[in-house]
Amino acid sequence: MDELLKRLTEAHGVSGDEGEIREILKKEAVNLADEVSIDRMGNLVAFKKGTKGGKKIMLCAHMDEVGLIIHNIADNGTLKFSTVGSIDPRVLISKKVKIGKKKHHGILGLKAIHLQEPEERKTVVKTKQLYIDIGAKSKDEALKIVNLGDYAAFDTDSLPFGQGRIKAKALDDRLGCSILLDLLKNRYPFDLYACFTVQEEIGIRGAGAAAFGIKPSMALIVEGTTCSDVPGVDEHMRSTRLGKGPAITVMDATSYSNKFMVNKLIETAIKENIPYQMKESVTGGNDAGAIHVSGEGIKTAVVSVPCRYIHSPVSVADMNDYYSTSRLVEAFLKGCE
Amino acid sequence: MKELLKKLTLCYGPAGNEEVIRDCIKEEIKDFVDEIKVDVLGNLIAIKRGGGKKVMLAAHMDQIGFMVTHIDENGFIRFSRVGGIFVQNSINSKVVFKDGLVGVVSYESEIEEIKDIKLDKMYIDIGTKNREETQKLVTIGDVAVYSNGFAESNGRYIAQAMDDRAGCALLIETAKRLKSSPHEVYFVFTVQEELGVRGAKTSAYALDPHIGIAVDVTLTGDTPKSKLMAVKMGSGPAIKVKDVLIMAHPKVKELMITRARDAGIPYQMEILEAGGTDAGAIHLTRKGIPSGVLSIPTRYVHSDCEMIDSGDMENGVKLLLKILEEEIEF
């Protein structure tokens, strides 16, 4: 597996706590960009001057990931938490997390099944029924290790498996971050702003500020998106399919992609012989939602790498989709001259 | 205004796909304004230059629709809704695509109870025999709209997309009849209102007006066993007090009431408990823009037979003219 992608996906960066991932991205970006800055919201912006100047194009990938935040410590030393971003609590049971800057180990626990009331067994588990066990015997002992407000990120090793597939946490949207770094290697005729945004998972909060500051004439969002090409799901409910190439969005819950850009993406894919698919659902949203209505309006489109089991401790992507997405965005940018 | 309304309601323009309706409106209004432009998101902005206050009138030109998301092996189309499409209003409805291709919206017939029908259990049938045939005619992302035509019955007009082509008609008619105004008037035909008042947001930001007035349809409480609501179709244009997105600015609301009263134009007050309009975006723009809403009472909103009253339309134009023709003290 690509060494950088492994580092990016294993790094911590739960929404609001993007320090670690931002530092890694920054170190990579300074070697590639002309100027790297961090705005007031915490977005990392890498600027690459164009050979002709004038037009500004913004690429955007969010660096934050879904995770947990500690909000209470029980007398027995276990931690109560809230989810940061949307997570189905069922995917949390018995998973490993790492907490705080020191990355203390924690296990997500749940009362054993034989101790659950018949009613509890029938209903879907709620986040408030779960707790994090950090091996502490008491609240005092726990307080020596963690603080209220500490974040917890999933403890998942990133690994290749199968034929060209990978499993890792935070593929949404470290895949996008990695693609942006890749594209920063080139110099384009126009000014390029590669934005690694904060707090996408808790309501698209970073991207609007970044776009307002940059005022680009066009923005392309590179995402990791939902993929349900698994047994038991009707064909028309699958949204995207693994291995079928980058997914181009026409519309989702937060934006309607600019048609000129969508057509250009499709034309580019066909011309360059890059596989692509149209995203077959309109739910969910991403940074485009804030960017396209920023200021007097910005032309915006979204290209995504399909990811199974998104927003869980471990998701799956196909590296061919990843490379094709990178190629498509690169060819699209070259066509913007 | 009937012919104009007919033309506008029969024109294709689902949210995100406003090109055709925009051209149609442009053609209708161009002779009555000083300047016309289209912004990045596609809003049509028609300007009547002047001094005084900068007044923004906004009517959205987009309509709700059905977006193709999947084509099955037998050629049937699965769709997602573009804006507020409801199951009960769509069963066995006729829809039309941009190029005139007609389809019927129906549902998986193994479902027995209407309440069990969800939009993802519905499909569009365009009469094709297989996937290949359908793929030649439509592609993922194409959008169909209700297609029920235009009719008049007892002084009421019935058509799809009255929401908000009725508002567009009011703006065009107002521009046409407005001989002189001490103000600079922006007639803004917005995009993507049905997806979350998006066009109004960017156009208001760019224009930075002193006053914003959205012109849109509203619900009524005057049909058998309807939900309680004080608005009646035919009792005059409604002046909004509040909806989900806005508490109308007292000065704008007062301005509308005073002008209506002084001119003897019938009006009614409106409190809408579900939904919002472009004013919701306009009033929160920049440092805040005092905004209100003039509403056209409409029955069967978001169906293919939305019904309005011709008198409400006429009085709506009169009220807008009254607002624009005189000085506004703020």
Residue-wise pLDDT tens digits, A231-256: 899 989 999 999 999 999 999 999 99
Per-residue pLDDT at A74: 96
Per-residue pLDDT at A54: 80
Q: Are residues A127 and A183 both part of a single domain?
A: no
- Give the span between the Cα atoms of B50 and A245, in whole angstroms: 54
Minimum distance, in Å, between the CA of residue A318 and any CA atom of chain B = 22
- Distance, first Cα to last Cα, chain A: 33
SS3 A187: coil
Minimum distance, in Å, between the CA of residue A16 and any CA atom of chain B = 26
Positive or negative CA dihedral for A119, A121, A127, A133? positive
Q: Are residues A162 and A143 both part of a single domain?
A: no
Helical residues (DSSP H) of chain A, grouped into ranges: 3-10, 19-30, 118-122, 139-145, 171-183, 206-214, 259-271, 288-291, 319-334
Share of residues in chain A with pLDDT > 70 (%):
100
Instruction: Mark whether B18 is an active-site residue.
Output: no
Measured from the Cβ of residue B286, the count of other Cβ atoms closer than 10 Å reads 9
Give residues 8 to 27 of B whose Cβ lies within 8 Å of A. 15-16
Q: Are residues A139 and A175 both part of a single domain?
A: no
Q: Write the DSSP assignment of A34-103 as a string of letters.
A: SEEEE-TT--EEEEE--SS-S-EEEEEEE--B-EEEEEEE-TTS-EEEEEES---GGGTTT-EEEETTTT
- For the segment A131-137, the average pLDDT, to the nearest whole number, is 96
Residue-wise pLDDT tens digits, B65-81: 999 999 999 999 999 99
Q: What is the domain-level CATH number for residue A109?
A: 2.40.30.40
B54 touches chain A (CB under 8 A): no
Cβ B40–A235 below 8 Å, yes or no? no
Residue-wise pLDDT tens digits, A166-203: 999 999 999 999 999 999 999 999 999 999 999 999 99
Per-residue pLDDT at B274: 92
Q: Is the pLDDT of residue A154 over 90?
A: yes
Q: Are residues A86 and A60 both part of a single domain?
A: no
pTM of the model: 0.94
Q: Are residues A75 and A207 both part of a single domain?
A: no
Q: Is the pLDDT of residue A337 over 80?
A: no
Taking one residue from A and the other from B, the number of pairs with CB-CB distance under 8 angstroms is 60
Q: Residue A1 — pLDDT band, cuts 50, 70, 90?
A: confident
Residue that terminates a domain, selected from A99, A129, A154 = A154
Q: Are residues A220 and A299 both part of a single domain?
A: yes
Q: Are residues A321 and A203 both part of a single domain?
A: yes
Q: Is the pLDDT of residue A300 over 90?
A: yes
Nearest CA to A223 among A258, A259, A172? Answer: A172
Per-residue pLDDT at A103: 96
Q: Residue B4 — pLDDT band, cuts 50, 70, 90?
A: very high
Which residue from A minimizes the CA distance to B17? Answer: A259
Looking at per-residue confidence, does B55 or A119 come out higher?
B55
- Phi-psi category of residue B227: left, alpha or beta, with phi > 0 → left and psi -120 to 50 → alpha: beta
Per-residue pLDDT at B87: 97
Minimum distance, in Å, between the CA of residue A242 and any CA atom of chain B = 16
Per-residue pLDDT at A225: 95
In the block, which residue shows the tokens 């293919």?
B304
Per-residue pLDDT at A326: 98
Per-residue pLDDT at A112: 87
Q: What residues in B contact A298, CB-CB < 8 Å?
A: 40
Domains and CATH numbers, chain B: 2-63+160-325 (3.40.630.10), 67-146 (2.40.30.40)
Per-residue pLDDT at B64: 98
- Note down the domain range covering A87: 67-154
Q: Are residues A71 and A60 both part of a single domain?
A: no
- Give the span between the Cα atoms of B200 and B53, in whole angstroms: 19
Q: Are residues A314 and A195 both part of a single domain?
A: yes
Q: Are residues A58 and A168 both part of a single domain?
A: yes
Which residue from B minimizes the CA distance to A239? Answer: B69
Q: Is the pLDDT of residue B208 over 90?
A: yes
| Number of structural domains in chain A | 2
Residues 6 or more apart whose CB falls under 8 angstroms from that of B65 comprise: B14, B15, B17, B81, B82, B83, B85, B143, B144, B145
Note the ipTM here: 0.91
Question: Which residues of A fall below an 8 Å CB-CB distance to B?
Answer: 235-237, 250-251, 254, 256, 262, 278, 280-283, 292-293, 295-299
Q: Are residues A22 and A142 both part of a single domain?
A: no
Cβ A297–B72 below 8 Å, yes or no? no
Q: Are residues A246 and A316 both part of a single domain?
A: yes
- Give the span between the Cα atoms of A28 and B235, in whole angstroms: 66
Q: Residue A119 — pLDDT band, cuts 50, 70, 90?
A: confident
Residue that terminates a domain, selected from A154, A182, A210 = A154
Q: Is the pLDDT of residue A111 over 90?
A: no
Q: Is the pLDDT of residue B277 over 80?
A: yes
Per-residue pLDDT at A241: 95
Cβ A236–B67 below 8 Å, yes or no? no
Q: What is the domain-level CATH number for residue A301?
A: 3.40.630.10
Q: Is the pLDDT of residue A278 over 90?
A: yes
